[in-house]
Structures are given as C-alpha cells and as structure tokens.
Amino acid sequence: MRMRWNKKLTVVAVFGLLIAGTLVMSGCTGSDDNQLNQTGSSTVLPLAKAWAEEYDGAQISVSGGGSSHGISALLKGEADLADASRQLKPEDIEKVGGDPSKVTDNGTVTGPIKVNGREVEPTKWVVAHDVLTVVVNNQNDWVDELNYTQLYHIFTTDDTSIYWDDVSGLDDAPHKKIRIYAPDEASGTYDYFFESIGGLDNSRLGHDVDKDGKKDYHPSADDNVILDAIKNNEYAIGYFGYAYYKQNTEKVNALSIAEEDEEAVPPTTENVADYPLSRPLHIYTDGVPEEGSTINDYLRYVLSEEGQSIVPGVGYIKVGDVSPGLLQHQLDRLGG
C-alpha cells in the first residue's frame, strides 16, 4: 500500500513557523527521498502551498522569502526547488561566488556552475502565468488607470512627482504626497516591475533607499504588510501578484495599465495576452531531475492536467492557456 503523507499538517506547520518569523530548515536539501524543500517567491507561494497540500508523492516543506532567497538557497544546496517570479540573473550567481557570465538572457545557464566546491545547474521551469496588479486605496477617486510613463514618475527617483497632482495627466488629483508601499529588492516582483516600466537600477525606489528622502517609500517582503498599508491610507499605491489581489478585492482597487499610446487593460486572467504586466512564474531545479526521482515526479505533477487544474483557483493562468507548446516541451524534458 502506498503511504500518503498528511500534506495539510506539513504545510500548516511550516506556515505557522513563518508567522512566528522563523522557519527551521535542515540547511540542506531533503535528507530523505520523499522529502523536498521548496522556497522563494511570495508570488508563487500560494501555488506552492496548494500543490503541496494536494500532492501525495512527497512531504514538501514550503516557505517564502522572495525570489532572490529561493534562488540563493538552490544554488547553495539548501533547497530542492526555488520558486521565482523572475528569471535567474548574473547577480544571483555572482553573490554565491559563481561565474555570472554563464547566465543567458533568458534566465538559463550555459553549463554547470561551481558554488562552494560543488556543481549546480539552475534549470528553469515555467509553472504558471501572472498578471502583476497595481493597486490603490478604495477612497482614491482620481485615478483608475496608469501608463508606463506615469508609473515611472511615481516609482523612480528620476522624476519629481512627489504629490499626486505632480504626475503627468493627473492635474486634478489632490495635492497630497504619494505614499508608496511595494515589494523590496529581494522580490522577483520588484525586478519585473522596474524592468517593465524602464526603471534603471540607480533610479529604482529602494535601490538607494531614496537618499534624498523626498518620496514616501515603504518596501516590504510581506504582501500582507503592503496590502494593509494601502488599505489604510487614502493616498497610497503599490503592487503585488494577482492571486493576492483576488483574495482581497474588497480591500483595494486594481488599476488598468497601459503601455505608451496603447489602451489601458484591466488585470484579469482573461486579459493575460494583452495586459502589459503579465509574466511567467517559475520553479528552478538543479539540472533536469532524473526520471523516477522525487523532484521529477513532483514537477510532472505540477505540469500535469491535475496540477495545472489548481492554478486558476489560486488566481493565476495555466501554462497551456498561454503556451501549449512550452507546456508539452517541458513535460517531454521530464520524460512524460
């Protein structure tokens, strides 16, 4: 008889430790063939939790901490699976003493990388798609859409838009300071957002912690903190993954977003093809996991019809709905 792990107890225990501010991990990957450590992106976290609760083939410890944390843990051999809402970057490899030149533009590597005397080959798997959601307080009645230029004015140090009526096109907005609550630098959501709106490293709020202190900026690794702050401040703005917004639609308002000279598009799963801030969500592993291994079986479950059926309920879009060819290619790589 096949043993069935009590997934809910495992995940609840892990999340209880997270709430307390501490997650006890072994300092290495799962020591047992039926145990996996999965950590990283707060955006992927709701999905990772849902998959872990439903999957019966392994005992999976799930935690957040941000994409940078997850990728670093994988590279150091401290996790089996790294959740990431962005692609691997050369800086990720450089931070752990590896050769950053091996990272390609599409977030893969040209070969194994030496980290602390061991070889690791971070390998990317697209497991879902997201529409990053920009939100404001429910009392905000002067803006229901923004374009990339306006987002740039609000979220970078390159512009003097300190008050809402400073933002181009918002002349009738109140002369009140814009209060920004958003993910911190460890978040893949932070990277993706600024790459999309064109914010260079030295102009991103948070990169230099806005040294002149003019902009009212409050970074956090916790989406709950961001949501609560925006909910309680009429002049606040911020952003996070669509799944988290979907769980809290009555607490904040989502804005439609436009690229330059394009029509603004609201963030919905149906609009993934047209919404400017849509993005893939990833799991990284050390190489292509061997057929029959616990990691291989788990990834095949995640990408299977059963695993992907969970995705819309969490608030994201199935891989096959955006790129059926990519879904099949990934399953072929895993051997089934």
- Beta strands 145-147 and 256-258, pairing class: parallel
Q: Looking up tokens 């907005």, which residue turns up?
A: 173
Q: Taking a C-beta distance cutoff of 8 angstroms, is the pair 113, 287 a contact?
A: no
**Do residue 120 and residue 139 come from a single domain?**
no
* pLDDT tens-digit map of 202-237: 555 554 444 456 789 999 989 999 999 999 999 999
What's the pLDDT at 203? Answer: 55
Residue 159, pLDDT > 80, answer no
What is the average pLDDT across 29-58?
Answer: 89
Provide the CATH number for the domain around residue 61.
Answer: 3.40.190.10
**Do residue 146 and residue 113 come from a single domain?**
no
Tally the domains of the chain.
Answer: 2
What's the pLDDT at 263? Answer: 96
Residue 118, pLDDT > 70, answer yes
238 secondary structure, DSSP code? E
Q: 224 lies in a domain?
A: yes
Q: 67 lies in a domain?
A: yes
Specify the range with the lowest mean pLDDT, choosing from 25-34, 59-68, 83-92, 293-302.
25-34
* pLDDT tens-digit map of 11-24: 443 444 343 333 33
Residue 5, pLDDT > 60, answer no
Residue 136, pLDDT > 60, answer yes
Report CA-CA distances (Å) from 219 to 12, 176, 314. Answer: 27, 20, 25
Two tokens, residue 277: 């801030």
Q: Looking up tokens 């902009």, which residue turns up?
A: 215
Q: How large a percentage of the chain has pLDDT more than 90?
A: 77
* pLDDT tens-digit map of 247-283: 999 999 999 999 988 999 999 999 998 999 999 999 9
**Do residue 52 and residue 147 come from a single domain?**
no
Q: Taking a C-beta distance cutoff of 8 angstroms, is the pair 235, 138 a contact?
A: no
What's the pLDDT at 201? Answer: 54
What's the pLDDT at 211? Answer: 45
Residue 25, pLDDT > 80, answer no
pTM of the model: 0.82
Domain assignment of residue 163, given as a range: 133-271
**Do residue 251 and residue 295 come from a single domain?**
no
Q: Taking a C-beta distance cutoff of 8 angstroms, is the pair 44, 187 a contact?
A: no
Q: 2 lies in a domain?
A: no
Residue 1, pLDDT > 90, answer no
What's the pLDDT at 32? Answer: 57
What's the pLDDT at 215? Answer: 84
What is the average pLDDT across 57-64?
Answer: 96
Residue 35, pLDDT > 60, answer yes
Q: 35 lies in a domain?
A: yes
**Do residue 71 and residue 27 come from a single domain?**
yes
Residue 176, pLDDT > 80, answer yes
**Do residue 222 and residue 115 come from a single domain?**
no
